[in-house]
Chain A
């Protein structure tokens, strides 16, 4: 792009980047990171595929212990949160820092609601002894295949919930910048890049929900 032969200023440096190139580089860096995230969760999805193959009937039975209504509600909550994250970027592109703050606050609020619903689900599993470390879980009658299903369930949704928490922290930081009126149509890189991360967390849940709650 910038291959003017006359320029011999040495290797490109952050301070020499024009705003548009810096914006593109930041976004590309986030996409690269999101690629590693896909592979991180991909390993767990692969493990799920292997054990579902091995214990097909038991997995079907075990997944009936999950409440698809709570899982579905959480899907809707995350989709709505992603919408508001996208609208926050749109607001920044229109110089409206107040609207960025408002939309990110709703996004973070949805993330919190997601975690509350997840907590209700987890504590339900705990009370039914479907949680690692409970007396039922450790009893010899507790089937190996059940341990596999719920082990994967907690590993996958737990890692995902961790990502929700990280996303809330990142967007909280972006929100604090928007409160200081840092963004304009010419500069809104943190809003866009933070929203990209949040959308990936949404996409992972889009796959987790049917796989864990519905396919039975």
Chain B
């Protein structure tokens, strides 16, 4: 699993990368506030959620070291997201066709 060049159990990431990720996260936060002043209609939520997901991915991949994890951990990380997609996806199939 790990190469034997070092004896740390986990993966050591260069410090600079954390700084780069933080800068990217802050830029994306400003971006999401900035685009919120424009009206894209129904796409407003989509744009906001796409930016939020890019930010979440950056945090997971680099701050949480998911990028360097084994397939089992990836499975643990992705499985609840599949369940959540199923739940919210079904809601969007159901909701518009309801007659209240």
- Asked whether, in the complex, the Cβ of A46 is within 8 Å of the Cβ of B18, the reply is no
A210 to B76, CA, bound (A): 26
A209 to B60, CA, bound (A): 18
Task: Knowing A32-B76, A45-B88 are in contact, say whether A214-B33 is a contact too (CB < 8 A).
Answer: yes
Contact with A along B78-100 (1 / 0, CB 8 A): 01110110011001100110001
Residues of B within 8 A of A80 (CB): 22
Closest to B73 in A: A31
B interface, over-half SS: helix
Closest to B12 in A: A93
Residues of A within 8 A of B83 (CB): 39, 42
Of A1, A39, A79, A215, which is in contact with the most chain B CB atoms at under 10 Å from its CB?
A: A79
A188 to B7, CA, bound (A): 12
A197 to B21, CA, bound (A): 18
Q: Which of A39, A72, A185 contacts B33 (CB 8 A)?
A: A72
Interface stretch, picked from A4-12, A19-27, A148-156, A166-174, is: A19-27
A23 to chain B, nearest CB (A): 4
Contact with A along B48-90 (1 / 0, CB 8 A): 1101100110011011110001101100110111011001100
A interface, over-half SS: helix
Q: Which of A24, A38, A76 contacts B9 (CB 8 A)?
A: A24
Task: Knowing A72-B33, A87-B18 are in contact, say whether A215-B95 is a contact too (CB < 8 A).
Answer: no
- Asked whether, in the complex, the Cβ of A215 is within 8 Å of the Cβ of B59, the reply is no
How many B residues touch A, CB cutoff 8 Å?
52
- Is A50 positioned at the interface, with any CB of B under 8 Å from its CB? yes
Task: Knowing A31-B73, A38-B80 are in contact, say whether A196-B33 is a contact too (CB < 8 A).
Answer: no
- Is A57 positioned at the interface, with any CB of B under 8 Å from its CB? no
- Asked whether, in the complex, the Cβ of B26 is within 8 Å of the Cβ of A79, the reply is yes
A31 to B60, CA, bound (A): 11
A148 to chain B, nearest CB (A): 14
22 contacting pairs across A/B (C-beta < 8 A): A24-B70, A27-B10, A27-B73, A31-B76, A32-B76, A35-B76, A35-B79, A42-B80, A42-B84, A83-B63, A186-B7, A188-B10, A199-B60, A202-B59, A202-B63, A203-B60, A206-B59, A207-B52, A209-B52, A210-B52, A211-B48, A215-B45
